[in-house]
Amino acid sequence: MNKPKAQIGIFGGSFNPFHLGHMSCLLQVQELLKLDKIIVIPTSRSPFKNMAEELNVDCRLEMVKIGVEKYADRFIVDDREIRRGGVSYTSATIDELSKELIESELTLIIGMDQFELFDQWRNFDSILAKANLVVVSRPGYTFPYKLDELPEGIQPLVEQFDRTYLTLKQGKSIQFCQLKDVDMASENIRSALRKGHEVARYLSFEIESYVKKCRIYEPLPIEDSLAFCQFCLE
């Protein structure tokens, strides 16, 4: 009798900062899908993010480690994209993990906001050949309910569409997962920290303490603020 494959989730992001919305998503998805583990992977540099808003990779990695420390039996922090350096492409990470975890079933977890642009990701079809995709709800976004509402590049890959579950021709699946959404935007949290506003509803006590101790999101000095604005305009 064949041993059942380990069900492994993959959850990547900039995590700038790692906030309670990320943690809520991890906990809900792990429970709903009965995943054995979720690998949390901070990016080195996202191809879709403004470099001017990127935080030192070591700080982001440390926040993720602090954030999931209490759940070491459920979540694993993986720094491969930081070690790889440069722009992080999910397809390269999935390719590596599929070779390392041959006996496991991989499931990539993304938000509905990311799914709308998924066919613009590098080698997105290769990702869908090696891993299932779970798309979680995001405030302000609605799930597609018919084929022509999917990203155009994904439509030819669909074998069967059953509202919240798609079977793909490659043998993998796409599942839409409604969560108890936590409406948090990283840029708003960074802004609140720089203004000295209360952030307890966004960050765990441990991460808030780390952020303040290391003075990560302090207001920029006036000369740096002017340089930052000029950078953004170039």
- Per residue in 90-101, pLDDT tens? 999 999 999 999
Please tell me the predicted confidence (pLDDT) of residue 50. 59
Residue 220: predicted pLDDT: 53
Question: Per-residue pLDDT tens for 142-199?
Answer: 999 899 999 999 999 999 999 899 999 999 999 999 999 777 888 899 999 999 899 9
Nearby residues of 100 by Cβ (< 8 Å), 6 or more positions away: none
Instruction: Write out residues in the chain with pLDDT < 50, as ranges.
Output: 52, 222-234
Q: Is the pTM of this model over 0.85?
A: yes
User: Kind of pairing, strands 132-136 and 104-111?
Assistant: parallel
Query: What does the chain look like in DSSP terms, one character per residue?
Result: -PPPPEEEEEEEE--TT--HHHHHHHHHHHHHTT-SEEEEEE-SS-TTS-GGG---HHHHHHHHHHHHGGGTTTEEE--HHHHH-SS--HHHHHHHHHHH-TTEEEEEEEEHHHHTTGGGSTTHHHHHHHSEEEEE--TT-----SGGGS-TTTGGGEEEEETTEEEETTS-EEEEE--------HHHHHHHHHTT---TTTS-HHHHHHHHHTTTTPPPPHHHHHHHHHHHH-
> According to the model, what pLDDT value does residue 218 have?
81
